[in-house]
């Protein structure tokens, strides 16, 4: 556990604010050991004359600085608008609007979470989940730790599309081994090994009738393999084809919730899994009441381009602590047989793997060994 931190040696606030820095140090000391951040953000309590890419400018609603927000962003800075309803971050052309309670020391908490290496939109979520005096609170279950773990205290993401009127169909809380596979042939093979949760991630380039027919055939074969072996087969991305084939479920990315017809997916009785890459995306995903959340990427992965840096085991453990019992969770990203025990030690009850199965010298033996890890 980190004891004393020297945040005062950094240009943490502008103008310099000793009391805020001391509060940030107290909070940071109660959050555990985290690698030093590679992005030393500066929180600007008043707009600097020359903002830069490391600045987060905090403005109050009554300051009427809205006309300057676009200019500050062009200069590379982020802007946080805060009022009694919550806070909105403008950064990199994106807008992150959060509704929730602002503690008196929320800015100090924001600085502390930024120092833990969290991106500004995730650090802001945590700052809104913070309450005055939390740094004095102990967590008997998880040791000497004041990390926010009460979901009821977390803010709400504002401005999201309406969720389907009915929740998505549920799936088991413990999904276990979850291979993500590139073809129907692999799905048939792995389902035959006795794996009960499988995803077909069939990537196609271009369009045309022949490709559409090939994709429909792959999905139909995969769904049939699931029925034959009593396995839960999720289809990645191709939600309409999954509905047509009566698949068990669909897995979508964050960007897909704005384009996919979630109402149609829910009405068809399919389960929905959503990818998340941090606290803000978790809150976004929970708004839609999905069947499960995927948390990642835990480790570096070469199977796809990731929008964020690897999360690591420490973050995964925090995510599981917050959401376990709320929604089924799947750890994903760069997970091999060697690190699977460490992933499961965080409390995660399911893990998605790709190359550990498809690139194994003996896929059947490798799959059996992976399944045994979930039985320990």
- Write down the domain spans for the chain: 7-157, 176-373
Give the pLDDT of residue 2. 39
Give the pLDDT of residue 6. 57
pLDDT along the chain (376 residues), means of 10: 52 92 94 84 93 92 72 92 95 96 97 95 98 81 78 97 94 97 98 98 73 93 98 97 98 94 97 98 98 96 70 96 96 97 97 96 98 92
3-state SS, the chain, equals: CCCCCCHHHCCCEECCCHHHHHHHHHHHCCCCCCCCCCCCCEEECCCCCCCCCCEEEEEEHHHCCHHHHHHHHHCCCEEEEEECCEEEEEECCEEEEEECCCCCCHHHHHHHHHHCCCCHHHHHHHHHHCCCCHHHCCECCCECCCCCCCHHHCCEECCCCCCCCCCCCCCCCCCEEEEEECCHHHHHHHHHCCCCEEEECCCCCCCCHHHHHHHHHHHHHHHHHHHHHCCEEEEECCHHHHHHCCCCEEEECHHHHHCCCHHHHHHCCCEEEEEECCHHHHHHHHHCCCCEEEEECCCCCCCCCCCCCCCHHHHHHHHHHHHCCCCCEEEECCCCCCCHHHHHHCCCCEEEECHHHHCCCCHHHHHHHHHHHCCC
pTM: 0.94
Q: Which CATH class is domain 176-373?
A: alpha beta
């Amino acid at each position: 556990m980190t004891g004393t931190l020297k945040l005062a040696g950094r240009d943490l606030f502008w103008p310099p604010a000793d009391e805020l820095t001391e509060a940030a140090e107290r909070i940071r000391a109660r959050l555990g050991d985290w690698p030093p951040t590679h992005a030393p953000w500066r929180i600007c309590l008043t707009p600097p004359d020359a903002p830069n890419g490391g600045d987060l400018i905090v403005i109050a609603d009554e300051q009427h600085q809205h006309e300057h927000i676009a200019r500050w962003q062009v200069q590379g800075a982020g802007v946080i608008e805060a009022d009694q309803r919550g806070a909105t971050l403008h950064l990199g052309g994106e807008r992150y609007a959060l509704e929730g309670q602002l503690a008196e020391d929320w800015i100090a908490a924001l600085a502390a979470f930024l120092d833990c290496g969290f991106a500004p939109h995730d650090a802001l979520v945590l700052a809104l989940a913070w309450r005055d005096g939390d740094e004095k609170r102990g967590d008997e279950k998880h040791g000497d730790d004041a990390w926010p773990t009460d979901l009821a205290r977390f803010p709400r993401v504002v401005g999201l599309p309406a969720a389907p009127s009915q929740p998505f169909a549920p799936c088991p809380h413990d999904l276990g081994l979850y291979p993500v596979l590139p073809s129907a042939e692999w799905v048939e093979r792995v389902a035959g090994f006795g794996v009960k949760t499988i995803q077909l991630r069939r990537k196609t380039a271009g369009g045309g009738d022949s490709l559409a027919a090939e994709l429909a055939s792959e999905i139909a074969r995969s769904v049939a393999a699931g029925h034959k072996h009593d396995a839960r087969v999720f289809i990645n991305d191709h939600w309409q084809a999954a509905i047509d084939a009566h698949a068990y479920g669909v897995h979508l990315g964050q960007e897909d919730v704005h384009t996919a017809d979630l109402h149609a997916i829910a009405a068809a009785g399919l389960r929905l899994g959503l990818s998340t890459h941090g606290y803000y995306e978790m809150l976004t995903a929970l708004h839609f009441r999905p069947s499960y959340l995927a948390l990642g990427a835990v480790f570096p992965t070469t199977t796809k381009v990731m929008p964020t840096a690897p999360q690591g085991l420490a973050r995964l453990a925090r995510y599981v602590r917050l959401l376990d019992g709320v929604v089924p969770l799947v750890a994903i990203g760069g997970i091999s047989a060697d690190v699977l025990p460490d992933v499961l030690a965080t409390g995660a009850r399911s893990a998605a793997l790709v190359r550990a199965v498809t690139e194994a010298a003996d896929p059947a033996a490798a799959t059996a060994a992976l399944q045994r890890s979930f039985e320990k």
